Amino acid sequence: MANLPTVIALLVLALFVALGLFAWLLNHLLHGQRARLRRRLAQVVGRKSTIAAAAPRRRSLHRLQSGEQSRGRRWAGQMREQLMRAGIRMDVRLWLGLNVAIAVLVWLVALGLKAPPLLGPLLAASLGFGLPRLLVGWLGKRRIARFTTLFADALDIVVRGLRSGLPLGECMAIIGREVPEPLGPEFRLVMEGQKLGLSLEESLARAVERTPTADFKYFAIVLGIQQQTGGNLAETLAKLSEVLRARKRMRDKIKAFSSEATASAMIIGSLPVVVALLLTAVGPDYIGILFSTPTGHLLLASGGLLMGMGALVMRKMINFDL
């Protein structure tokens, strides 16, 4: 810091002060007195429900979530779940081996092209580990969105089958045969699990681990409660189908309202990268100072940190949970 110009040192100091204020404000919002009071009120309100029928629901929900929590304790289990959600049938070790191979290949190409010393590791880490993770997340979201789109129609098939006198297993087998991916294969796996001796709740719990959507969890909970308490399953699933369709309409409405903010966030977030690439193509000596001097490294780290925080804030602003 002593060798830096006075203006840059002051800017860096102001940056760290701003980051400290931001961290204090975030901690106050998440762990302040108001936040603790809201969490306490939520706990108290949640305990007020003492309906007898809620006990089977809580037990069913606990069973459905226990597998996911136990698998989430290990990083390998989390990676395996992400691959399953994305529909990638690959072992975790093989997937990690491919990531390492891509990273090493990118690093060797950067060394062959005589790229700046800091650029090679950054590109290797980004393309070898960051890009595959983004790809898995994107494939998982697309698969879950497709699953959610088809799920309400699949419930209608079950309702019509039950009202016509078919058993639940036959209705689910029809879904497995007639509905396209990714919904059909999941129901086929549920039926195969029952043929191998698993109960319906256990088969559905494993299916929820592979496709952890709220709609699928509701369906599994409804079936678990119906098996324990009885009742008209067709009417219950018909009402659930109506609720799921209403949720989908609300999600589409929110997506339409937030599309402008999403496009603006993508443009603002990509501008620094685009400008850096253009400057690299036009004047590599001009921008090469950032990668070859300690001051440039500090500025790159500060800019990357600010860009990451800005991206997280924009994502939080346009991300709505339903």
The per-residue pLDDT for range 190-206, each reduced to its tens digit, is 888 888 888 888 888 88
User: What digits encode the pLDDT tens for the residues 232-244?
Assistant: 888 888 888 888 8
List of residues 6+ apart from 59 with CB closer than 8 A: 224
Asked if residue 52 belongs to a domain, the reply is no
What average pLDDT is seen over the chain? 76
Q: Residue 209: pLDDT band by 50, 70, 90 thresholds?
A: confident
Nearest-CA neighbor of 247 among 127, 112, 143, 151? 151
Q: Is the same domain home to 90 and 15?
A: yes
Q: Residue 186: pLDDT band by 50, 70, 90 thresholds?
A: confident
Q: Residue 5: pLDDT band by 50, 70, 90 thresholds?
A: low
Q: Is the same domain home to 15 and 123?
A: yes
List of residues 6+ apart from 185 with CB closer than 8 A: 176
The pLDDT score that the predictor gives to residue 293 is: 85
**Residue 88 tokens, joined:** 């990638």
Q: Is the same domain home to 240 and 256?
A: no
Q: How many domains does the chain have?
A: 3
Q: Residue 14: pLDDT band by 50, 70, 90 thresholds?
A: confident
Q: Is the same domain home to 257 and 238?
A: no
Secondary structure string (H, E, C) spanning 139-155: HHHHHHHHHHHHHHHHH
Q: Is 10 left (phi over 0), alpha (psi -120 to 50) or beta?
A: alpha
Nearest-CA neighbor of 248 among 164, 178, 151, 111? 151
Q: Is the same domain home to 280 and 158?
A: no
Q: What angle do CA 177, 151, 247 make, to 5 degrees?
A: 175
CA distance 204 to 71: 16
Across residues 299-307, what is the average pLDDT? Answer: 85
Q: Is the same domain home to 224 and 308?
A: no
CA distance 80 to 86: 10
Range of the domain at 217: 146-244
Distance of CA 143 to the CA centre of its chain: 12
Q: Where among 244, 269, 301 does a domain terminate?
A: 244
User: What digits encode the pLDDT tens for the residues 71-82?
Assistant: 444 666 777 777
Asked if residue 63 belongs to a domain, the reply is no
**Residue 24 tokens, joined:** 């204090």
Asked if residue 61 belongs to a domain, the reply is no
Q: Where among 98, 113, 139 does a domain terminate?
A: 139
Asked if residue 297 belongs to a domain, the reply is yes
Nearest-CA neighbor of 207 among 91, 72, 93, 85? 85
Tokens 């060798």 label which residue? Answer: 3
Q: Is the pLDDT of residue 39 over 70?
A: no
Asked if residue 295 belongs to a domain, the reply is yes
DSSP-derived letter for residue 126 is I
Asked if residue 4 belongs to a domain, the reply is yes
List of residues 6+ apart from 299 with CB closer than 8 A: 8, 290
Q: Are 239 and 262 spatial neighbours (Cβ–Cβ below 8 Å)? A: no
Across residues 169-179, what is the average pLDDT? Answer: 86
The pLDDT score that the predictor gives to residue 68 is: 47
Q: Is the same domain home to 25 and 117?
A: yes
Q: Is the same domain home to 293 and 224?
A: no
DSSP-derived letter for residue 232 is -
pTM of the model: 0.55
User: What digits encode the pLDDT tens for the residues 123-162?
Assistant: 888 888 888 888 888 888 888 888 888 888 888 888 888 8
- Burial string for 104-136 (b: 16+ CB within 10 Å, else e) reads eebbeebeeeebbeeebebbbeebbeeebeeeb
For 129, half-sphere exposure in the C-beta direction (CA atoms, 13 angstrom radius) is: 9
Asked if residue 70 belongs to a domain, the reply is no
Least confident among 6-10, 56-60, 241-245, 313-317 = 56-60
Q: Is the same domain home to 292 and 278?
A: yes
Q: Is the same domain home to 7 and 90?
A: yes
Q: What is the CATH number of the domain that holds 192?
A: 1.20.81
Q: Is the same domain home to 104 and 128?
A: yes
Residue type, position 194, single letter: Q
Q: Is the same domain home to 152 and 236?
A: yes
User: What digits encode the pLDDT tens for the residues 256-267?
Assistant: 877 877 788 788
Asked if residue 41 belongs to a domain, the reply is no
Q: Where among 191, 223, 244 does a domain terminate?
A: 244
